[in-house]
Amino acid sequence: MVKPIVHEFNSQQELIAAASDLKARGIHEDNLYVLSHEKDDTKDLAHEADVNTIGLKEEGLGTALSNVFESRGDELRNKMTELGLSDVEADQYEKKLDMGKILLFVKEEDKVNTLP
């Protein structure tokens, strides 16, 4: 599994603009995933930016079921490790989510230059 590139944003508008830019440069929406600390915010952002959430397809049934019994922090870390981040990276990014950051995960970004 190729580790995704992770972009951090402070606002929804920044994330939506970045997702639009990446899609315009050839990254397919199937390779873009948004994650915020709040589930509802993540779903709303995914809809607005026309990108994905990290769901059953990415997590697998076992992880998705175990997330039902996990804390939100554990659930967020599990989602990130299922996308290909290490446990240490997932822990670092989960702390950023705690501080209000919004994350955009990009698979196959090597096909297009990264964001300016």
Closest CA to 7 of 39, 36, 30, 40: 36
What does the pLDDT look like over 74-83, one tens digit per residue?
888 988 998 8
Average pLDDT, the chain: 83
Closest CA to 105 of 87, 86, 83: 83
Maximum average pLDDT range among 21-25, 65-69, 100-104: 100-104
Domain boundaries defined on the chain: 5-110
pLDDT attached to residue 58: 57
The C-alpha atoms of residue 65 and residue 51 are separated, in whole angstroms, by 23
